[in-house]
Amino acid sequence: MELVISVLDANDNAPEFNQSVYKVQLPESTAPGTVFFQLTATDNDEGINREICYSFSDTISAKIQDLFIVDRKSGEIRTAGKLDFEYVQSYDLEIEARDKGTPPLSGHCSVELEVLDVNDNAPEVWVTSLSVPVPEDASVGTVVALLSVSDRDSGANGRVRCAVWPAAPFGLVSTFAGSYSLVLREALDRERVSEYEVEVRAEDGGSPSLRGRRGVRVPVSDVNDNAPAFAQAVYTVLARENNAAGAELARLWARDPDEADNGRVRYSVWEGGVGGVASAGGGWRPASSYVSVDAESGRLWALQPLDYEEVQVLQFEVRAVDAGEPPLCGNATVQLFVVDENDNAPALLPAGSGGPGPGVSGEAASGALWAEVGSWSYSQRQSRSLCVADGAGKTDLMVFSPNFPPPPGPAAKETQPEPPALLDTGPRAAFGGSRAEPADSVCLVGA
């Protein structure tokens, strides 16, 4: 008789991995759902005792289980979420392989996952300190802003080069790793550029490279570096005599490109400049006794009626002063010409004011000078014509020989009408004598 003894399997072998530790590298750009590792464990038992289920060990955190999935039957490990090197660079996955025996036995291994960096972060630029506005007289080298530059990537992906645009008038100075100073490279002029829009640009060394930028607004504050300037160095003004007091003669304007008080201009007649006139009554009168200028508007106006017979030309300076600290000023010369009006009647000097009396010697020869008219109208041009008596002249006895140019011809009279003549109807008188510059004379015609 043959006896056959069958040995029944007992679950006395735990599943085993061929390595206790597996090392895996995975780029952070790996898409969710990607299978990145295949687990394999063996069990020498038979039947149900060798059937294996794979899972994470009980010590694995919930966060890891949210990022990775282990297929219980096949042992495939796949990503469930997005990896981020800048957040976590590595993971230690504890894996358990359990058979279905009774009681079940298990084996363990560790999968060490290293997350590889990819260039998925652009450089970041931050302004940590800003000193604005910048005075336009700030010296070269003045620090305008402090900046911090960083890139969360590693290696060449995280190495950053920085530059400022436009290249002038500012520049960047590296103070230490990741820190820069925005400094002034050239002199500023607010009247040319009152504000700058500066852009700090950062570029990493990845392939392809990524860029970041940060805008910085830099206003330029004004300093009083411009004096008021008139449009002309010399202004010529014509004013008719007998104008009303307060009449506007001209408007002067000085430009100051500075702003606020630095560009606010006030005007005045400058007594320290060229100004004043010798009056007809003797003495010296300053220009400010004839004219004034409005401090705010620059309106030049007459303080009193002007008299051509007193002053024909008035030259003075107008000063424009700004309200800056210290104040700056500019000057302009004003030449005021008084235009004559026919406002004086002829006037004869009384007898006895000089020379012999009005009598004529019987021995006087024909054509001899008998008398000179000593004074008449001060008015210009043909308004100096002199009438000696009403009615027809005594041409058989005497003739007037006026020392002034003949009246203008008909064409001139058509385009330049004469003002009304003024006549002195007072007592006539004459006196003898002579002058260095002959006046109008009365000469004998016949004996």
Range with lowest mean pLDDT among 56-70, 156-170, 390-404? 390-404
How many CB atoms are closer than 10 A to CB 312? 15
Architecture of the domain delimited by 16-116: Sandwich (2.60)
Beta bridge partners, 373, equal none
d(CA 414, CA 404): 21
Is the separation of the CB atoms in 329 and 227 below 8 Å?
yes
Q: What is the mean pLDDT of residues 258-275?
A: 85
What distance in Å separates the CA atoms of residue 300 and residue 316, rounded to the nearest whole number?
12
Instruction: For residue 348, name the pLDDT band (cuts at 50, 70, 90).
Output: low
pLDDT reported for residue 227:
97
Question: 4 pLDDT band (50/70/90 cuts)?
Answer: confident
Judged against a pLDDT cut of 90, whether residue 203 lies above it is answered with yes
**pLDDT at res. 278:** 54
In this prediction, residues 205-213 reach a mean pLDDT of 95
* 174-204 burial: b if 16+ Cβ within 10 Å, else e: eeeeeebbbbbbeebebbeeeebebebbbbb
What fold, for 229-339? Answer: Immunoglobulin-like (2.60.40)
Tell me the CATH architecture of domain 124-221: Sandwich (2.60)
- Higher-pLDDT residue of 360 and 37 is 37
Largest CA distance in the chain: 210
State residue 180 phi and psi, 5-degree precision: -135, 155
**Local structure of 182: helix, strand or coil:** strand
The yes-or-no verdict on residue 282 having pLDDT over 50 is yes
**Domain chopping of the chain, boundaries:** 16-116, 124-221, 229-339, 342-447
Q: Which H/E stretch holds residue 140?
A: none
Residue 142 has pLDDT above 60, yes or no: yes
pLDDT at 99: 95
- Choice between 391 and 233, residue whose per-residue pLDDT is larger: 233
Q: What is the pLDDT of residues 146-202, one digit of tens each?
A: 999 999 999 999 999 999 999 899 999 999 889 999 999 999 999 999 999 999 999
C-alpha closest to that of 243 among 290, 293, 294: 290
DSSP 398-418: EEEE--SPPPP-HHHHHHSPP
Between CA 200 and CA 46 the distance in angstroms is 70
Q: Kindly report which listed range (209-218, 349-358, 414-423) carries the lowest average pLDDT score.
A: 414-423
pLDDT of residue 270: 87
pLDDT tens profile 21-62? 999 999 999 999 999 999 999 999 999 999 999 999 999 999
Please tell me which residue, 125 or 369, carries the higher pLDDT value. 125
Q: Over 70: is that where the pLDDT of 274 sits?
A: no
Higher pLDDT, 435 or 361: 361
Residues 343-371 have a mean pLDDT of 58
Q: What is the pLDDT of residue 426?
A: 45
- Phi first, then psi: give them for residue 288, nearest 5 degrees: -70, -10
Phi and psi at residue 265, to the nearest 5°: -110, 140
pLDDT band of residue 396 (cuts 50, 70, 90) is very low
Residue 140 binned pLDDT confidence (cut-offs 50, 70, 90):
very high
The reply to whether domains 16-116 and 229-339 share a CATH topology is: yes
Tell me the per-residue pLDDT of 242-265, one tens digit each, with 9 for 90 and over: 999 999 999 999 999 999 999 999
pLDDT given at position 347:
67
